[in-house]
Chain A
């Protein structure tokens, strides 16, 4: 039985490998470093490596990323991967850093912690020297535990829970969840946007809960009144009429949405058809709302504000990033793509600062030490890190006008 199964499996894999060679030209293939796959049926590497910039001389720094490329949260993983891919390509085309070229390996984890650890170990087998942690928080926390033992630099683009960077080798690009809740409350209070606030949040999501809890605490300190808290879960995230009705009757002036763009798109269209006039204010999860809501419903996003470190039109660097990304992948980059892009440039900066080579025996220590010394002017703002691993960067609030994010100006 096993023989037949093995034969069938091997056949499927060979077929698929050929299909992969033909179509998948954007993918950097795996290096032949390390040992073969557990089943032993797969050749270690194919020859058509698309990274043409790979030089004969000099060293290669292998960067490993993990994120959901399939499953419910695939858009985040794909965005980070593409952003990082673009940065790696740019750096290699510019000749790398001190003769060191970058190579990115990206593995799928389907947002699952166990899969993320498996992927991490596979990347270590393939010679990973710097880890991008994982895209989602839960997976990133699991990875942080393993990477601590290896002592390699772990720089997560988007793992926003506090514990993602609990160890000395952990750093992040994005805001932490608590930070965002506090910043949002501060912004609303300082600009006098509203005093009566309603919240719609995803009870089953760690990101949403984290922001919401800290927002509520901060709001209380700042004299804002939370008049209604409406929850939903990932099982009931398409129809929000009940929550919106409850809010309509609560006298709220502003609705806070610490959620992701997909649900927000439903909420905004449903609120528009219900004729609700409240201001909508969100966290960085609202990034990409225009794509999610579709061109026909753009009017529903008019006046929506959200906190984001990434404004596609903020400066020349961002405009170039946006147009390059659009040319390469046919989509407007969201914050996740910008995070992935910045993560690679942060690694580049750390590499330049430390002067380390991937073959050095104390490469990890040098890189981690360099992280607290560098300043990176990335697409998501100017960042500096302290030993805790959290970046200090300013949060900008953007307002959507005619489907385009514009900087907030007090009226």
Chain B
């Protein structure tokens, strides 16, 4: 529908992101297969993938839709419980190859349903109000899970089969990236960003604001649910206390650190935020202090205009190389990559 010229820039950028992820995967996979990765490293792989999925999906609402939501952990928990209960019920009946994808689908769909249910009242609000209400919904979900019998209550849900592997998690990461990047670059995605940039103008252009806001919200909830299922199948216990607002805020930290509206940034910062506290284990008592300090330094660095200019240069170079290969004129304007 669009001219190819117009599409090239985001397409190249997306391909670079996918290439980075695939190369990283290949390197890590080779390390694991040749026995060069420590167990400590290996145990972080699935959590990294889970955080990437969560961050990229949260970026859809926070970065592209422009609405600060603090209830992402709530959707994750709904998906996790739905998927794990499904797996526990089907453990004897279905083989793992069928059960696990189905569990992810179930978890994602249940989370998406909750996204619709919560979205109806929540999306009437904007900005700070919306943030607070999503925070409240996240807490409500957690309280309900604690008080239900079949979720195991405060003691947690046990007995989920340990199906999550690095390869499966990576495939889900790829699917998430492709779906969300394509969505963002599609007509729907442009409508979503138009709403973020100027709601009234977007409405005046005939964009169905409610529909597109709901769409972004529900898709984000779906992927949060899928990530939750992966999480639930990675550990033998699922306790509701994991999904408190601290978890939502941690996810928000990932998105903000990576840059709102930058999917590649989300991927990179998800890796950093997951690995950092583990890499700092050598510091013993100082660990969480240093973690907090590093976060502050990174946030300040990330927000500084000089650093942004530097990043712009790096991006420009990478882009220019790719574009030059296609003998295109280097029209790319510098710095326009991450803060669009």
Beta-carbon contact of A13 and B158 below 8 Å: no
- Give chain A residues whose Cβ lies under 8 Å from the Cβ of B96: none
Cross-chain contact A125 with B283 (CB below 8 angstroms): no
Give B158-176 interface residues, CB cut-off 8 Å to A. Answer: 158, 162
Q: Contact: B146 with A124, CB < 8 Å?
A: no
CA distance A137 to B156 in the complex (A): 10
**Chain B positions within 8 Å of A202 at CB level:** 154
A117 to B: closest C-beta gap in Å: 6
Q: Report A-chain residues with C-beta under 8 Å of the C-beta of B240.
A: 204
Question: Measured between C-beta atoms, what is the minimum distance from B184 to chain A in Å?
Answer: 21
Q: Is the CB of A37 within 8 A of B237?
A: no
A157 to B285, CA, bound (A): 21
| Chain A 133-171 interface residues, beta-carbon cutoff 8 Å to B | 137-138, 141-142, 144-145, 161, 163
CA distance A122 to B272 in the complex (A): 18
Q: B47 and A125: CB pair below 8 A?
A: no
Question: Does A209 contact B153, Cβ atoms closer than 8 Å?
Answer: yes
B-contact bits for A1-36, CB 8 A (1 contact / 0 none): 110110011001100110110001001001000111
Cβ B287 vs Cβ A70 within 8 A: yes
The winner among B139, B147, B278, B298 for most chain A CB atoms within 10 A is B278
CB atoms of A114 and B282 under 8 A apart: no
Closest A residue, CB atoms, query B276:
A9
A108 is contacted by which of B42, B147, B287, B290 (Cβ under 8 Å)?
A: B287
Q: Is the CB of A206 within 8 A of B282?
A: no
Q: A8-B301, A17-B283 are in contact. Are A204 and B275 (CB under 8 A)?
A: no
- In the complex, the answer to whether A34 meets B290 with C-beta atoms within 8 Å is no
Report the bound CA distance from A141 to B155 in whole Å. 11
Q: Which of B43, B241, B242, B286 contacts A20 (CB 8 A)?
A: B286
- CB-defined contacts of A113 to chain B, threshold 8 Å: 235, 237, 239, 242
The answer to the question of B279 belonging to the interface, with a C-beta cut-off of 8 Å to chain A, is yes
Q: How far is the CA of A4 from the CA of B158 in the complex (A)?
A: 43
Q: With A20-B286, A38-B279, A144-B236 as given contacts, are A5 and B272 in contact (CB-CB < 8 Å)? A: yes
Q: Is B30 an interface residue (CB 8 A)?
A: no
Would you give the shortest CB distance from B77 to chain A, in whole angstroms? 14
Contact stretch, chosen from B4-12, B33-41, B125-133: B33-41
Tell whether, in the assembled complex, residue A27 and residue B284 are in contact, meaning their CB atoms are under 8 Å apart.
yes
Residues of B within 8 Å of A16, CB to CB, are 280, 283, 286, 290
Distance in angstroms between the alpha carbons of A19 and B280 in the assembled complex = 14
Which residues of B from 284 to 311 have beta carbons under 8 Å from A? 284-288, 290, 293-294, 297-298, 301, 307, 310-311
Contact A12 B290 (CB under 8 A): yes
Among B44, B155, B278, chain A packs the most CB atoms within 10 A around the CB of B155
Closest to B139 in A: A235
Q: Is the CB of A209 within 8 A of B154?
A: yes
Chain A residue with Cβ nearest B36: A35
Bound state CA distance, A68 and B298, in angstroms? 26
Tell me how far the C-beta of B89 lies from the nearest C-beta in chain A, rounded to whole angstroms.
Answer: 19
Please tell me if B234 contacts chain A, counting CB pairs below 8 Å.
yes
On chain B, the residues within 8 Å of A34 by CB distance are 38
14 contacts across the A-B interface (CB closer than 8 A):
A9-B294, A13-B280, A37-B279, A107-B281, A112-B242, A113-B237, A115-B277, A118-B43, A118-B278, A120-B43, A137-B155, A202-B154, A204-B240, A208-B154
Kindly list the 9 A-B residue pairs having the minimum CB-CB distance in the complex, ordered from nearest. A145-B236, A121-B39, A122-B40, A121-B43, A206-B155, A39-B279, A141-B237, A125-B38, A42-B282
